[in-house]
């Protein structure tokens, strides 16, 4: 890959000065059109030490309108970052639609550095690279333009530059002393990088190896690559427009997973009171123990309207110190959230080490309400199963305890509760016309829930189907399940 780069290329000053104005005009024009498009752009600037990554970042900020650019350097890690899954820090700074993120450092850095330090074997590196490829594909499918620049230096040129820095430190005030490694490390770095580049060179996120021996050639080439990538993306956008697919009504399966939930299960009042006290006490102890061991927990509550999500969540939270948990109630996304991949808002709220985050509704909206109401296109909700499984896998790998609850009730029970709500004064605000509309689509939702449970009940993140016709039984089932998961984890 690297060998294929044409070496020794250079551009004269005259040639450079003649070409730059046109290039800049093109870049600014593309950026201007980008703003009204829905495309987020990610430009990864990486490559050999001494190849001028920082200079390229500066140049992009000079040629493009810096007001539309967010330059991100992934360098120091804050505790808020290190206490969450490794990709959290990337998610939090992904560019919004219409903006350009220039990434100085990226998701490639950590696996390469860890391989270099011997903390990963080659096959572990490959697994990390697979994750990267999946991540980039997911962003690209969501519309992101991903431009990956690898600045390449020949071994000789790199050595020459190192000698020059050593001799004339005052000339190189832009260079951080820690940038320089030993020659031996360099050759190892080159080898690993090449593996990474080869492994993650894809149609949706291709690598561009740029010969960096001559500054003018390097910058012009980078500018042209960025310009063509932007133009190609904008053109494709115009040609296809948003894909609108007909809503497909989910087919009802034969006997579904939901059908198998035994809704007749119930608890007597005194039995309930005793168990509630028991499991709440236990949960309180376990959450403090988890806090001390810095194990986080993510709880997801989904279910039919009026299935008792709210009251079940309350039975869980009243057992937990308010310092340890926060609830994220999922409502319509804000415009900042809409300007990102749909998983962005959920990544955003992941808990820090030892803390608990409760999602009242969740990312599963993608394959439930967004699917049924047509807010997500068929290709979007279909690939969501995989995206969600990968997301949850990252949480579990990072040591989080994950609980997913579907609160199930019968259609008759729901009707009874809707009517009751309309009668009790302080519950009246809990029932809206939306609830009735959703109820009319019970069968469609049923089929979607069944498919969701089938496709996203993984070994590391299984669904718990809660028998909710009896609220008391449901609450105890939930508390018991959470306690069990925590006990197993600690």
**Which residues here bind its own copies, judged by CB under 8 A?**
21-22, 24-25, 27-29, 31-32, 54, 57-58, 61-62, 65-71, 73, 75, 78-80, 104, 170, 173-174, 176, 281, 284-285, 288, 310, 313-314, 317-319, 321-323, 326-327, 329, 331, 334-336, 352, 360, 424-426, 428-430
Output the CA angle 135-123-296, nearest 5 degrees: 55
**CA–CA dist 146, 29 (Å, integer):** 19
Considering the complex, state which of residue 150 and residue 325 has its C-beta at the smaller distance from its own copies. 325
Minimum CB–partner distance for residue 298 and its own copies (Å) = 17
Maximal CA-CA distance, the chain: 89
Q: Which is nearer to its own copies, 67 or 240 (CB)?
A: 67
In the complex, minimum distance from the CB of residue 70 to its own copies, in angstroms, rounded to a whole number: 7
Q: Between 25 and 232, whose beta carbon lies closer to its own copies?
A: 25
Which residue's CB is nearer to its own copies, number 333 or number 462?
333
- The least distance separating its own copies from the CB of residue 308, rounded to whole angstroms, comes to 14
Q: Which residues of 254-279 are buried (b: 16+ CB within 10 A; e: fewer)?
A: eebbbeebebeeebeeeebeebbeeb
Three-state SS sequence of 123-172: HHHHHHHHHHHHHHHHHHHCCCEEEEEEEECCHHHHHHHHHHHHHCHHHH
Least distance to its own copies, CB of residue 258, Å = 25
Assess contact for 457 and 256: CB atoms under 8 A. Answer: no
Residue number with CB closer to its own copies (121 or 428): 428
8 A C-beta contact, residue 197 and residue 209: yes
Give the dihedral of Cα atoms 446, 424, 467, 347; nearest 10 deg.
Answer: 70
Q: 2 or 359, CB closer to its own copies? A: 359
In terms of DSSP H, where are the helices of 293-355?
Answer: 309-317, 335-338, 344-348
Centre a 10 Å sphere on the Cβ of residue 106 and count the other Cβ atoms it contains: 18
Least Å distance between CB 239 and its own copies? 24
Measured from the CB atom, is 80 or 422 closer to its own copies?
A: 80
Query: Cβ(95)–Cβ(42) under 8 Å?
Result: yes
Q: Which is nearer to its own copies, 386 or 421 (CB)?
A: 421
Beta-strand relationship, 463-467 and 325-329: unpaired
């Amino acid at each position: 890959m690297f060998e294929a780069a044409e070496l020794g290329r250079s551009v004269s000053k005259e040639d450079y000065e003649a070409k730059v104005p046109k290039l800049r005009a093109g870049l600014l024009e593309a950026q201007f059109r980008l703003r009204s498009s829905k495309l987020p752009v990610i430009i990864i600037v990486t490559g050999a030490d001494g190849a001028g990554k920082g200079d390229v970042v500066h140049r992009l900020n000079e040629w493009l309108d810096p007001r539309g650019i967010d330059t991100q350097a992934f360098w120091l890690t804050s505790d808020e970052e290190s206490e969450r899954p490794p990709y959290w820090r990337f998610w939090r700074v992904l560019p919004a639609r219409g903006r350009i993120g220039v990434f100085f450092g990226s998701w490639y850095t950590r696996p390469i550095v860890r391989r270099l330090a011997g903390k990963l074997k080659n096959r572990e590196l490959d697994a990390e690279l697979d994750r990267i490829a999946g991540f980039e594909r997911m962003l690209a499918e969501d519309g992101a333009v991903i431009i990956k620049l690898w600045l390449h230096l020949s071994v000789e040129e790199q050595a020459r530059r190192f000698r020059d820095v050593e001799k004339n430190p005052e000339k190189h005030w832009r260079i951080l002393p820690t940038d320089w490694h030993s020659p031996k490390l360099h050759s190892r770095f080159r080898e690993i990088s090449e593996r990474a580049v080869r492994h993650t060179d894809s149609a949706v996120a291709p690598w561009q190896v740029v010969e960096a021996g001559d500054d003018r050639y390097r910058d012009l080439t980078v500018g042209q690559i960025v310009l063509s990538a932007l133009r190609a993306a904008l053109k494709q956008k115009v040609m296809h427009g948003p894909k609108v697919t007909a809503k497909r009504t989910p087919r009802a399966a034969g006997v579904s997973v939901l059908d198998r939930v035994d809704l007749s299960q119930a608890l007597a009042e005194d039995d309930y009171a005793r168990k509630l006290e028991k499991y709440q006490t236990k949960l309180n102890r376990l959450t403090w123990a988890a806090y001390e061991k810095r194990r986080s927990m993510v709880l997801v509550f989904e279910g039919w309207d009026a299935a008792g999500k709210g009251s079940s969540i309350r039975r869980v939270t009243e057992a937990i110190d308010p310092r340890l948990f926060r609830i994220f109630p999922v409502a319509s996304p804000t415009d900042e959230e809409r300007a990102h991949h749909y998983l962005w808002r959920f990544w955003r709220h992941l808990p820090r080490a030892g803390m608990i985050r409760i999602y009242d509704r969740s990312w599963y909206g993608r394959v439930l309400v967004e699917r049924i109401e047509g807010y997500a296109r068929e290709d979007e909700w279909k690939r969501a199963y995989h995206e969600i499984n990968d997301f949850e896998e990252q949480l579990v790998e990072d040591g989080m305890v994950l609980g997913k609850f579907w609160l199930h009730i019968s259609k008759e029970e729901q009707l009874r509760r809707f009517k009751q709500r309309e009668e009790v004064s302080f519950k009246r605000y809990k029932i809206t016309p939306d609830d009735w509309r959703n109820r009319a689509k019970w069968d469609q939702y049923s089929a979607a829930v069944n498919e969701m449970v089938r496709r996203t009940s993984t070994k590391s993140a299984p669904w718990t189907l809660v028998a909710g016709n009896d609220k008391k039984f449901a609450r105890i089932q939930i508390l018991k399940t959470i306690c069990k998961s925590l006990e197993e984890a600690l």
